A and B are shown apart, each in its own frame.
Chain A
Amino acid sequence: MFFKVLLNLTIAALVLYIVVKFLSMLFDQVTFWVTSLEEKKRRYLLGGFGIFLIALPWLTAGNPYLLRTILIVGIYIILALSLNLIIGFAGQLSIGHAAFYAIGAYTTALLTVSLGLNFWLAFILSFVVAGLFGFLLGVPILRLKGDYLAIATIGFGEIVRLALINGGDITRGPAGIPGIPSPSIFGFVFNDNISWYYFIYLMVVITVIISYNLLNSRLGRGLIAIRDDEIAAEAMGVKPSYLKILVFTLGAALAGIAGSIFASYIHYVNPDSYTYLESVTMLMMVVLGGIGSIPGVIVGAAILAILPEMLRTVELYRFAIYGLLLIIMMIARPEGMISMTSLRGGKKPSWQFLKLGKLLKPSED
């Protein structure tokens, strides 16, 4: 039995290595092709992609399971992009992101079910409340460096989860809160996957636009500068703690939005959906895709949101395979599927699978 597991893992490792290598080379080619397109053609490409996004639910017609998976992918894209603001842009390792996801979900649940508030109001307040928690947590902990910060965020994630479990009549403990209503606009109720699709992907597009504009603004440059050299950035007049807290708050608030959407989509919240493993999954999406790279993080979120569906038959192995994937990634492609540097364009990437010369020659550094 033990040897069989070992053998399976070895085979899985090899397969994963080859898949990761192949996929990352493919992404390099695509990235190179897109970055070297002229501005006008790139616009057309973007337009074409927009039409594809709009048509997507119709393309999946007749397969509600597929559409449902696409919706979950959308929610994870929002989550991963919001975490990417914190990790990729502000350079702060946070491993408790599920806490903000939970805060958003429970804010919506409590406001709509317990207080009978309109969903849209609850939706906006989920953004505000999660952001507020992000701010209150960010002020004391963003002074911490690297490892300490990561540990503090793990702690926060656990505190929130335990508070939900032990929240008595308010959070209704492990049983959670059922009966969260669907949103509606002017009498039109979001009760089918297609209307949910447009709502969720509108939020995805908004999150992408926020991320993109942030990165290409003065603030984004300031954040990269802080990551490169905090003292030098400060000497230029950047206020590092101010920027870090701002981005941490925004990241938390966007995760709150994802929570609100998720709660309303499945009409139910319970603490099990917001565990430490959920935070780790989000972290993996960012790392797998490419820390700081917006298209990378989207791809990472999609892969890791779809993977569990494909692994249904080997449910037991799921987290073993995640772990393996993370190790393989660090060996085969530490910078992620679509790295920040590849997005800056440059030399045409090669299709060479293994650099044999590199294997034969001793490493130079």
Chain B
Amino acid sequence: MLEVKNLNAHYGAIHALKGISFTVNKGEIVTLIGSNGAGKSTTLNSISGLIKNRKGSIKFEDEEIIKCRTDEIVKRGIVQVPEGRRIFAELTVEENLKMGAYLRNDSDGVKKDMKKVFDMFPRLAERKTQLGGTLSGGEQQMLAIARALLSKPKLLMLDEPSMGLAPIIVEQIFAFIKEMNEKDGLTILLVEQNANMALSIAHRGYVLETGNIVLSDTAEKLRTDDEVRKAYLGEG
């Protein structure tokens, strides 16, 4: 579904991605793990077009999208839940969700999807008219995911959904992610520092180190890999 080849990204003189290649197949959860500054967020931002200074090839459903603007990419069905959630503080929960559906013109479909996410996250339904900025961290993460779902994505990209959340909330969020994948067949590209959690729900994984992919395998194999255990799972 997504085929990234020789992707390069620059911030001024900093070469943040040095020609990485990976694929995400339909129906998969693929995780990208790596330590701080490895280039995980840069990878997602390059795919979604938030970073314009990118080179190489990104094919989505067999079409080249590296030249596309963010709004065109969202329209094609790739949406990103940005790192740190980035909820619109001055908009209510409901309006935040409507922002997710910004590019959609099928208002009936939007209403239906709105109901669906409210069923999925009853805590958000209770807080429909509350301002986004007043939600708790966990609620904000739920809202960020729900907001992305309203764009009706084919590929959902999550950037560190566990960041700054209590372990019990993290478990909940990851259970949701798994459910979305299994029940609705949503394809997911998951970026995490919490490699343990990520590898527990992913099918496959890539390990990123200073702008290069150094390892790729099934999630199961990565979990038992000595190098990965030492570097990312805090063991050994």
Contact = CB atoms under 8 A, between A and B. Distances in A.
Interface stretch (B30-38, B96-104, B225-233): B96-104
B7 to A, nearest CB: 18
Contact of B71 (A225, A238, A340): A238
A218 B103 CA distance: 9
A232 B99 CA distance: 10
A221 B87 CA distance: 13
B102 A231 contact: no
Contact of B102 (A222, A227, A228, A340): A222
B69 A222 contact: no
B89 interface: yes
Interface stretch (B10-18, B78-86, B182-190, B213-221): B78-86
Contacts of A224: 88, 90-91, 95
A237 B82 contact: no
B75 A235 contact: no
A148 to B, nearest CB: 20
A258 B103 CA distance: 34
Nearest to B159: A235
B151 interface: yes
Given A221-B95, A231-B50, A236 B102 contact: yes
B147 A236 contact: yes
A297 B120 CA distance: 41
Interface size class of A (residues with CB under 8 A): 10 to 19
Nearest to A219: B102
B70 interface: yes
Contacts of B71: 237-239
A237 B74 contact: yes
Contacts of B69: 239
B99 A221 contact: yes
Interface string B119-133: 000000000000000
Interface string B99-117: 1101100000000000000
B50 A228 contact: no
Interface string B56-69: 00000000000001
A340 B90 CA distance: 10
Contact of A231 (B79, B82, B89): B82
A222 B99 contact: yes
Contacts of A236: 74, 79, 99-100, 102-103, 147, 151
Nearest to B91: A224
A221 B90 contact: no
Given A237-B151, A239-B69, A239-B71, A232 B86 contact: yes
Contacts of A233: 88, 99
Given A237-B74, A237-B75, A218 B102 contact: yes
Given A221-B95, A235-B79, A236-B99, A228 B151 contact: no
A228 B90 contact: yes
A227 B132 CA distance: 14
A234 interface: yes
Interface residues of B, number: 24
B102 A235 contact: no
B162 interface: no
A147 interface: no
A40 B5 CA distance: 60
Interface string A226-259: 0111011111111100000000000000000000
A229 B86 contact: yes
A45 B102 CA distance: 33
B51 to A, nearest CB: 11
A14 to B, nearest CB: 34
Contacts of B79: 235-236
B50 A234 contact: yes
Contacts of A228: 88-91
B67 to A, nearest CB: 16
B46 interface: no
B93 to A, nearest CB: 13
B48 interface: yes
A180 to B, nearest CB: 43
A339 to B, nearest CB: 12
A280 to B, nearest CB: 27
Nearest to B95: A221
Given A235-B50, A236-B151, A237-B151, A225 B99 contact: yes
Contacts of A227: 90
Contacts of B48: 235
Contacts of B82: 231-232, 235
A237 B91 contact: no
Contacts of A221: 91, 95, 98-99, 102
Given A224-B88, A239-B69, A340-B90, 9 more contacts: A222-B102, A224-B95, A228-B91, A232-B82, A234-B50, A235-B82, A236-B147, A237-B70, A238-B99
23 contacts: A218-B98, A218-B102, A221-B98, A224-B91, A224-B95, A225-B88, A225-B99, A228-B88, A228-B90, A228-B91, A231-B86, A232-B82, A232-B87, A234-B70, A235-B50, A235-B70, A235-B80, A235-B86, A236-B100, A236-B151, A237-B74, A237-B103, A239-B69
Interface of A: 218, 221-222, 224-225, 227-229, 231-239, 340
